[in-house]
Amino acid sequence: MKLLEDKILNESVVLNDEILKVDGFINHQVDPKLMKEIGEEFAEYFKDRGITKVATIESSGISPALMTALALGVPLIIMKKSPSNVMKTDLFHTEVVSFTKGSSYELTVSKSHISENDHVLIIDDFLANGEASTGAIRLVRKGNATIAGVGILIEKSFQAGRNKLNEAMIEVYSLARIESLKGGIIQFKKQEN
């Protein structure tokens, strides 16, 4: 998606060979026009898949996932990184290792929001090693729902995430695929989705 790639080139910061900071338009400050375009792009790509719900992990995936759910006309499920004091029971749980934070967290979703009748599209901001996406997939499957695919804003193609999801027979649609961040230079991979 050229609009997203241009934002990445003009407004992101390469912190090192593996980390790209996009807090000015995706996760700390959000560009709503960009999110609307992203949601429409994902909705167009996945439109005839029978999607009943969109799911994401709090918090960076919420904006693009909400716009995707709106464009598809379906509810959005937000998976929590830790259970709240109010929601402690009737949850599906799984553990996820965060590449960015270098730690693990418990991912949860209410059992009442996912059922065997659901066909779920997962949206996330980054795909690195695939841990967040596979954690979200595990939770959806614990509810006996099926996976329509995974939509990713920014894929770091030099890491193992796509291969992990492809081996699990999960379709991945990434809007921007980064081949390298070496030397502080952003190089995009040709789109093959």
Give the annotated binding-site residues for xanthine.
Answer: 20, 27, 156
Dig out the tokens for 102 from the structure: 């270098």
Among 167, 159, 175, which Cα is nearest to 123's? 175
Phi, then psi, of 186 in degrees rounded to 5: -85, 120
> Which amino acid is present at 43?
A
Which residue ranges make up the annotated binding site for 5-phospho-alpha-D-ribose 1-diphosphate?
A: 128-132
Contact 92, 139 (CB under 8 A): yes
- For the chain, the maximum distance between any two Cα atoms, rounded to a whole number of angstroms, is 48
Angstrom distance (rounded) from CA 144 to CA 121? 14
Angstrom distance (rounded) from CA 70 to CA 43? 9
Dig out the tokens for 30 from the structure: 């959000």
Which residue ranges make up the annotated binding site?
A: 20, 27, 128-132, 156
Contact 1, 167 (CB under 8 A): no
Name the residue with tokens 């912190």: 15
